[in-house]
Structure 1
């Protein structure tokens, strides 16, 4: 991570120490490390290579101390405290509410902090300790991260149940005659669908509306008559989008799995472990296979 030079006076103010005391502290730290940790950069200072190494380990130590404090506080307290969760929109809509309902029934004093987003937002926060766990789609194995499978989450072509496409038995080529509402390029589901058409030497879907707001897609499909590519969860009775129907075309089902992830050596509170178990139960109850 690149860090811009910091003015010395700003550093003194942030740490609440005057310049002589701060200089003395830095000097002692450098003596222990056996290398300079800072260097002058214009009117400010910046880390040396050794300083960046020290910063990495200082952050890790701070995280370890924070987690030790949380574990000590949890001794004998049972299901209590705060659980910090990062979660993708589909899981936030279909898995989390059922699990949280049961968790609150068992532990009325529990508190949850949730961030809803995609993996590129959630993973950095998990690694730095801002989140205890994430609920997202499965990705390549990552050093220091443990993943536990919760459920299958197939992505399928869908349209309004009254769409003319259901009058026949469409094949992939027939889908090229219609316009779509999809996530922007770069989203895993969008890229997978584009590549599916390209492998058959067909043009990519004709996208009329792009939206990164996944929860908007069912309504947009129903109101516009466009095709889309969404989780099969949306097609279940009683859900927003229940008036939609899957377009059964060979080779257009994207198989993916939903997982809960956490750092290998991180502390997970009893409440966190209980929430993971409840998420697994909720996932079984919402299976779309």
Structure 2
């Protein structure tokens, strides 16, 4: 049984005639008759009684007539949903983002996306860039906002957003009295940094090593 056969069946049931049903389904009378025969053969029961040019529903035909419209409606609904998914306007979007991105600009971006595509279910997973990149490669995410350059050959960065890393200190810290701070002046200074492995920590560690500065780590901030 297929959808074309169901539509033909409904047309014949409404008109009680193969001839009258033919133009409604854009087929010849012989094609309509053949489709009904194939439908009856696939179901294993007669659906119509042939009385000359008139056809009447059997008990099985009346049962199918009761259910066929709902089947067609559900199928059309499913077609529409699948079409929307194919066009990117419904379904699920799995998004990965660094903790910094997830706590800053990502909420505004998702809010705008939600207004434009209300039928899309959004799932946000915060994490470190390396972990998110692995999830992308395993197809556990559809897109990710990373805090470092993509090194995997099979992943492509579509957009780069500039950002800055700054130092924050207490107002009474000696360094706050200076207009400019040279890297050497950070030797022995107490620091609280992001956890090891985070993108900002990786960038800071790289800069510290590059400048040959020795800081005093007080705490990792998770």
Give distance in 1, aligned partners of 2:212 and 2:118: 56
Specify the SS of the correspondent of 1:92.
Answer: helix
Instruction: Map Cα deviations across residues 22-44 of structure 1 (whole Å, 9 max, x no partner).
Output: xxxxxxxxxxxxxxxxxxxxxxx
Q: Per the alignment, do residues 106 and 195 of structure 1 end up closer, same or farther by CA in structure 2, a change over 3 Å counting?
A: closer
> Residue 202 of structure 1 is aligned with which of 213, 218, 222?
213
- Give runs of aligned pairs for residues 203-242 of structure 1, distance below 5 A: 203=214, 205-211=215-221, 213=222
> Residue 100 of structure 2 is aligned with which of 90, 95, 102?
90
How many residue pairs get aligned? The number is 142
Give distance in 2, aligned partners of 1:191 and 1:103: 31
How many angstroms does 1:133 deviate by?
0.8
Give distance in 1, aligned partners of 2:147 and 2:199: 10
Give distance in 1, aligned partners of 2:174 and 2:160: 36
Using CA pairs under 8 Å that are at least 6 residues apart, name the structure with larger relative contact order, 1 or 2.
1
Q: What CA RMSD, in Å, does the superposition of the two structures yield over aligned residues?
A: 2.8
How many angstroms does 1:146 deviate by?
1.6
Structure 2: tracts of 5 or more residues without a match: 1-80
Counterpart residue number, 2:201: 190
Q: Per the alignment, do residues 191 and 133 of structure 1 end up closer, same or farther by CA in structure 2, a change over 3 Å counting?
A: closer
Is the 8 Å Cα contact of residues 128 and 199 (structure 2) preserved in structure 1? no
Q: Per the alignment, do residues 100 and 182 of structure 1 end up closer, same or farther by CA in structure 2, a change over 3 Å counting?
A: same
How many angstroms does 1:177 deviate by?
4.3
Counterpart residue number, 2:154: 144
Q: Per the alignment, do residues 188 and 172 of structure 1 end up closer, same or farther by CA in structure 2, a change over 3 Å counting?
A: same
Give distance in 1, aligned partners of 2:198 and 2:146: 13
Pair 1:168-2:190 in alignment:
no
- Give runs of aligned pairs for residues 1-289 of structure 1, distance below 5 A: 72-74=82-84, 79-161=89-171, 163-169=173-179, 170-203=181-214, 205-211=215-221, 213=222
Structure 1: tracts of 5 or more residues without a match: 1-70, 214-289
Specify the SS of the correspondent of 1:181.
Answer: strand
More helix by share: 2
Is the 8 Å Cα contact of residues 97 and 124 (structure 2) preserved in structure 1? yes
Instruction: Map Cα deviations across residues 3-62 of structure 1 (whole Å, 9 max, x no partner).
Output: xxxxxxxxxxxxxxxxxxxxxxxxxxxxxxxxxxxxxxxxxxxxxxxxxxxxxxxxxxxx
Specify the SS of the correspondent of 1:165.
Answer: helix
- TM-score, normalisation: structure 1: 0.43
User: Which structure's CA Rg is the greater one?
Assistant: 2
Give distance in 1, aligned partners of 2:142 and 2:88: 17
